[in-house]
Chains A and B, each alone.
Chain A
Amino acid sequence: MTESAPKPVLRIRDLVVEFKTEMGVIRALDKISFEVMAGESLGIVGESGCGKSVTALSILKLIPSPAGRIAEGSIELDGIEVVSQPEHEMRKVRGALASMIFQEPMTALNPVFTIGNQMVEVIRVHQKVSKTKAKKQAIEMLRTVNIESPEKRIDQYPHELSGGMRQRVMIAMALSCSPKLLIADEPTTALDVTVQAQVMEEIKRLQQEMNMGLILITHDLGVIAESCSRVLVMYCGKIIEMAETGELYKNPRHPYTRGLLDSIPRVRKEKLKTLPTIKGMVPDLADLPKGCRFADRCPKVEDRCRTEEPPLEDTEGGGKVACFHPN
């Protein structure tokens, strides 16, 4: 890293998150560490159960309690340690320092209040402004996310808007207090492809304009390729690879990353007889194999992989990978 490196807005160190389940305590996150710089966009990719959403929730301390808890580690948001922060302090952090957009905009918005009501509430929690002024700000925000006739929309209820429109409202709400970090958890998964492309364009544009840090969580390596400068691949609660986007797609080091990239259905010039797959399935967090968690599915597995867990180590490409025999 160069001397003029920008300051990180988020620094996570050795984070461990545990959940109590019927099968005993499971580690949804097992010692993960990473940083996000101001103005940087980081993609987190992985399959269901890999811990990507738990990572997002822990940053805002939204892990469902008492079932889950942050057991170890530190999360620094713009220099503030979040883990030890009491709940009433966290309310000031959420929205102002970091905010979040969820997958399903219908369930994230309250159906019995108008868009305006909900936006004004957010603004007034963080800023001492009158209702009229807050409403004006809200209208401006809706205009920023390219909602047509915001003066009319602001008095409508969530069900009166289309899916893409609702997600734009969510973005407007998330950005209304100019956070330094925006966490987008599968923001376009519930949307149609044509709308998905519009919403992603919007997120990218605003991120650059406001110089925010962005964490984009998705299972779709296609979405990440077009929006993020750096990618982090998770598997079973661990980071298994981290690299610049260009490098990761050109030269994936971990066999799992390679498998993920190969198995994406894409429009091909020549139709394949069989699609490449990753054999088997993600192991149960309550019953993880010894050694490398990917060993049972890995085409390159060796004896050592079944006894020892590979550490996350630097690669010559400038990234990191946790594998004894990277590509």
Chain B
Amino acid sequence: MEETLVQVKDLRTYYPIKGGLLNRRVADLKAVNGVSLDIPTGQTFGLVGESGCGKSTFGRSLLRLQKVTSGEVIIDGENILSLDRAGLMKARKDMQIIFQDPYGSLNPRMTVREIVREPLDTHKVGAKADRNGEVMRLLEVCGLRQTVADRYPHEFSGGQRQRVGIARALALKPKFIVADEPVSALDVSVQSQILNLIGDLQEEFGISFLFISHDLAVVQHISHEVGVMYFGKLVERAPAEELYSSPKHPYTKTLLEAIPQPDPTRNRTEVLVGGDIPSHLDPPKGCPFQPRCPVAMPECAEREPELKPVDSDDCSSRHQVSCWLY
């Protein structure tokens, strides 16, 4: 049995909706509405969903970059949500994040050397004299030439900037990295370079990843397990091969079907869903996907399904779905 590094239990993150004369909290926007998952050491959990489904809020909540409403996040035996300032500072050494926009997340006034070195200085890792050598090593690991160390972010292409962002994330030898759409802003030919790099790094250093993306095709390559998120909840999770070979939830099927394929002879087999993600201010009754679902039944509008093993005889099954069909 592999060791679990990250364990999330019933995580909820709500944003207040203010209004009225006194601008009081009138309601909650339930961005993350009860998500549980676990990530074994050295594995990647791919989290997929469309914009507004809460996947980025979830990623930020795990690292306490976002105030959490309730739930539990245990990383390497430590309950992250109950840590005080000093404890959090220490725990953050082990967890890092890579952002989507490699330009917006690198300080334009700092050189690459300063950017990658900053976490080492902040956490006082190693002797000062050795840190420079460490920066050079990190750049090399991420496929950057050492000569780039004294250049500024604007002098680089998107792919190279993302490599700098990855080098910075690796600086503290983290055990867990949240990668929030790390390749979405890149050209296809560069996307695959970065995906390969992340795969190699995982193999070499045994890091666990939460890989967030809107693109099921990107997630497949990198993930051991995949979760599909809709309207603040996981609607399906399964080992990667199983999710792609036998998707269960109608939403997962829709997502897979909607990916444009570089194959002009292909015919879409299923009817595409219409409509948009429902409004958080006026959530639908029952299953949140029910208004768009091609196979909705009367009971779907009555009660909300729970995430349960697909095969009810096998409680240890990791393939879970929340749909009244199963």
Contact = CB atoms under 8 A, between A and B. Distances in A.
B217 A267 contact: yes
B254 interface: yes
B189 interface: yes
Contacts of A221: 188, 262
Contacts of B256: 267
A277 interface: yes
Nearest to B158: A48
Q: Which of A193, A200, A281 gathers most chain B CB within 10 Å?
A: A193
A263 interface: yes
A293 B190 CA distance: 17
Contact of B260 (A162, A197, A268, A272): A197
A92 to B, nearest CB: 36
Q: Which of B51, B192, B263 gathers most chain A CB within 10 Å?
A: B192
Interface stretch (B4-12, B15-23, B272-280): B272-280
Nearest to B273: A194
Interface string A174-213: 0000000000000000001111111011000000000000
A45 to B, nearest CB: 10
B157 A225 contact: no
Interface string B69-101: 000000000000000000000000000000000
B263 A249 contact: yes
B201 interface: no
B305 interface: no
B218 interface: yes
A249 B264 contact: yes
Contacts of A223: 260
A278 interface: yes
A299 interface: no
A164 B220 CA distance: 26
A203 B158 CA distance: 30
A212 B221 CA distance: 39
Contact-size category for B: 35 or more
Contacts of B192: 263, 265, 275-277
Contacts of B265: 246
B100 to A, nearest CB: 13
Contacts of B51: 163, 192
Nearest to A270: B241
Interface string A225-262: 11000000000000000000110010000000001110
B276 A271 contact: no
Interface in B179-202: 187-193, 195-196, 199
A43 to B, nearest CB: 10
Contact of A265 (B159, B218, B266, B272): B218
Contacts of A274: 196, 199
Given A194-B273, A226-B260, A281-B157, 11 more contacts: A193-B258, A196-B258, A196-B260, A198-B274, A200-B260, A225-B260, A225-B263, A263-B191, A267-B256, A269-B245, A271-B240
Interface of A: 47-48, 162-165, 192-198, 200-201, 219-223, 225-226, 245-246, 249, 259-261, 263-269, 271-272, 274-279, 281-282
18 contacts: A47-B188, A162-B277, A192-B50, A192-B214, A197-B272, A219-B188, A246-B264, A249-B263, A249-B264, A264-B188, A265-B191, A267-B259, A268-B221, A271-B220, A281-B159, A281-B160, A281-B189, A282-B157
